[in-house]
Amino acid sequence: MRVVDRSNSTIFGLSSGPNSFTGEDTIEFHVHGGSAIISAMYDSLSSFPDARVAEPGEFTKRAFFAGKLDLTEVEGLADLIHAETEAQRRQALRQANGQLSLFYNGMRARLVKAIASIEAYIDFSEDQDVDDSVLSGTVLEVDKLVEELRTHLDDNRRGERLRNGVRTAIVGAPNVGKSSLINLLSQRNVSIVTSIAGTTRDIVESYYDIGGYPIILADTAGLRTATDDMVESEGIARARTYVECADLLLLVVDASRIRTTRRLDAYIQDYVRTIGIQEEVLSRALIVVNKCDLVDSATVELLKTNANVCIVSCESKAGLPELLDRMRTRLEQLCGNPSTESPTISQERHRYHLKQCLVQLERFRDYFNETSAPDRDLAIVTHHLRNAVRCIGMITGSVETEEILDVIFSTFCIGK
């Protein structure tokens, strides 16, 4: 119910439990956003006995304890609040609406049913009300869960990439235009650009949105195998470390240094060896041939015949739309599409407990495979399944752990 005070246009929103967000009786004041009005509202409310400012995430925490949300939905709501791109918003919204909760609770229900089946066998098999097919059916169900969990975990961390941003290293030899490229993509002066080789010494990061996908662009020191500059050597070492952990590489090549008498792929292979990186990283790389404004049109047309490269000029911005389109396609492959795919793992916490769950299920299966029927201790079997249920409960919050709750809710802003 809403009540409007016509004298100052204040709207009072009244919600009765258990149908409110927190499950409790609540009242919301919708007022003008001026700092003086908000300050006066705080002063007025503080005059009531026991009134205080809410702690960060307190309303959502109350909703959790009232059973209105589980932990995956809480985390989805937090991600929705902090979403900066459209793809992040879609993934967070699906999680906040209970998609992950439905998936994990369904898995948990199947495990509980498996435990109940084994306990029924223990209690009633001697009375011949429950036969051995109950055990074989339970093992078959656990086999299905193991395969489903493996598939769920084998996601190349797409959901986590989407949540945290795709780490993208701009790499190449000195003076090929790496700093110019990050400035062009970021649409601001992130890095210093000079004609002096080795200007960039440290990792310079910039956050950007390409086609709705979050990307962390990193300008790195120009790679070469030898330098007498101690500071540049440290910058090169940091660049190589960043390359190893990056999700995507933009390998920048100077078009004016390419001899058109050679095949481009052969030149690229020599190029990566010259700058001292492994050829294996090319599977994670987009080849960006820069400075196309410094070569003739015939050379540009020849380079365009190679489907594995993007031809650009950071000076004239030629080829930028094509590069962005190629990057968006690669980002979609790395992050997936939250609107069409099955639920994705968005938190390292989820992944850890799912791996522990998988370990318990595999122990259950191995015990049945390695132990003959007369020697089986079914109490041990159910212990593995109960541990698997607890692991899923750690994700959804059905097993309470105060430390986990404190970490999750502390990410919320005050008033939510």
Residue 276 has what pLDDT? Answer: 86
pLDDT tens-digit series, residues 156-177:
899 999 999 999 999 999 889 8
**Could you tell me which of 245, 247, 261, 250 has the C-alpha nearest to residue 219?**
250
Other Cβ atoms less than 10 A from the Cβ of 233: the count is 16
How far apart, in whole angstroms, are the C-alpha atoms of residue 130 and residue 123?
Answer: 9
Higher-pLDDT residue of 2, 18: 18
Q: Is pLDDT above 70 for 396? A: yes
Q: Is pLDDT above 60 for 316? A: yes
- Mean predicted confidence (pLDDT) in 198-227: 85
Q: What are phi and psi of 251, to 5 degrees?
A: -85, 110
Read off the tokens for 123: 């209690």
374 pLDDT tier (thresholds 50, 70, 90): low
**Could you tell me which of 208, 221, 210 has the C-alpha nearest to residue 252?**
221
Other Cβ atoms less than 10 A from the Cβ of 165: the count is 22
The number of residues making up the chain comes to 416
How far apart, in whole angstroms, are the C-alpha atoms of residue 251 and residue 310?
Answer: 10
Q: Is pLDDT above 50 for 82? A: yes
Region of poorest pLDDT, from 44-53, 139-148, 197-206: 197-206
Read off the tokens for 113: 């049913």
Higher-pLDDT residue of 152, 301: 152
State the greatest distance between any 2 C-alpha atoms of the chain, in Å, as a whole number: 90
Half-sphere exposure of 298 (CA within 13 A, CB side): 3
pLDDT tens-digit series, residues 8-29:
555 666 777 778 888 888 888 8
Q: Is pLDDT above 60 for 399? A: yes
Contact 175, 222 (CB under 8 A): yes
Read off the tokens for 414: 């005050």
Average pLDDT value for the chain: 84
How far apart, in whole angstroms, are the C-alpha atoms of residue 108 and residue 61?
Answer: 23
Q: What are phi and psi of 68, to 5 degrees?
A: -80, -30
Residue 4 has what pLDDT? Answer: 46
Counting residues of the chain whose pLDDT is more than 90, the rounded percentage is: 37
- What is the domain partition of the chain in residue ranges? 1-49, 97-155+345-411, 160-335
Contact 132, 374 (CB under 8 A): no
Higher-pLDDT residue of 394, 307: 394
Residue 353 has what pLDDT? Answer: 96
Residue 354 has what pLDDT? Answer: 96
Which residues contact residue 403 at a Cβ distance below 8 angstroms, ignoring those fewer than 6 apart?
A: none
- Mean predicted confidence (pLDDT) in 40-68: 87
Dihedral sign of CA atoms 71, 142, 360, 110 in order: positive
> How many helices and strands in the chain, by DSSP H and E?
15, 9
Residue 409 has what pLDDT? Answer: 62
Residue 403 has what pLDDT? Answer: 46
State the CATH architecture for 160-335.
3-Layer(aba) Sandwich (3.40)
**For 176-229, where are the alpha helices, taking DSSP H only?**
178-186
- Mean predicted confidence (pLDDT) in 103-132: 77
How far apart, in whole angstroms, are the C-alpha atoms of residue 138 and residue 171?
Answer: 53
**Could you tell me which of 215, 194, 196 has the C-alpha nearest to residue 206?**
215
- Mean predicted confidence (pLDDT) in 241-253: 92
Contact 83, 51 (CB under 8 A): no
State the CATH architecture for 97-155+345-411.
Up-down Bundle (1.20)
Q: Hey, is 376 helix, strand or coil?
A: coil
